[in-house]
Amino acid sequence: QVQLVESGGGSVQAGGSLRLSCAASGSTFCIYEMGWYRQAPGKEREFVSTIARDGSTSYADSVKGRFTISRDNAKNTVYLQMNSLTPEDTGLYYCKTTPHPRALIACDASAYWGQGTQVTVSS
């Protein structure tokens, strides 16, 4: 019912910036909170940032002050502006969306994931 497609990943030197995009398509009522997670090789996937439809945001402590999440509800698209990147930010970045709790009955999953986009930060 929902498909997510990430873009904007790439290779950048430490201190540089990247802007990730994630476009969601499908049942709009199944798209409420949107966010980003990342996974480095050999490590568990970890939370990066989320944003609710009303604009409320949350960030992992490791990216606070450097990353900014935003969304365009009309386009069902979420963005992640990443500044002052370090090699520790390297990983596969995944887009995620979850339905509003009251809409969950109409959706076929409690969460939807994109395929991921690679971010590589070199020293």
pLDDT for residue 22: 98
Question: What integer pLDDT is reported at residue 37 of this predicted model?
Answer: 98
DSSP 88: G
Mean pLDDT of 2-31: 97
Distance CA 90, CA 72 (A): 26
Report the DSSP pairing between strands 46-51 and 57-59: antiparallel
pLDDT band at 123 (very low <50, low <70, confident <90, very high): very high
Residue 10, pLDDT score:
98
Q: What pLDDT, on a 0 to 100 scale, did the predictor assign at position 85?
A: 98
What pLDDT, in 10s, does the model give residues 25-66?
Answer: 999 899 999 999 999 999 999 999 999 999 999 999 999 999
